[in-house]
Amino acid sequence: MESTLTVTEAARNFSDLINRVVYRGDAAVLTRNGKPVARLVPEGLKKTTGRELAEFWRKRVPMSAEEADSFSGDLSKIRSESNRPQRDPWAE
């Protein structure tokens, strides 16, 4: 859903506006003096592979191809383990 509001209204309710965009996927057109000046839309979820992240860091921190592969593998392992259900300590 797209809503239209003034820049002043957006500033006064910024947190709520951001939450609607992020959690509900709404968009908002911001107006000033009755004219549209900006559009706030949700950012598409970008998935980054371990290899892409390793390449990003390799450009900033010297890293061999073997280290990049190892880093990518570590990230894949972390992702797979983080998807496991966690034990509920209060269920006991």
Question: Architecture of domain 2-40 in CATH?
Answer: 3-Layer(aba) Sandwich (3.40)
Cβ count near 30 (within 10 Å): 19
Q: Band of the pLDDT at 92, cuts 50, 70, 90?
A: low
Query: Beta strands of 1-92 (E only): which ranges?
Result: 2-6, 27-32, 35-40
For residue 85, what are its two tokens?
Answer: 């259900």
For residue 38, what are its two tokens?
Answer: 């900006």
For residue 52, what are its two tokens?
Answer: 């892409």
Query: Higher-confidence residue: 36 or 69?
Result: 36
For residue range 24-62, what is the model confidence (pLDDT) as tens digits?
A: 889 999 999 999 999 998 887 567 777 787 778 777 877
Listed by start position, the domains of the chain span 2-40, 50-82
Q: Band of the pLDDT at 85, cuts 50, 70, 90?
A: low
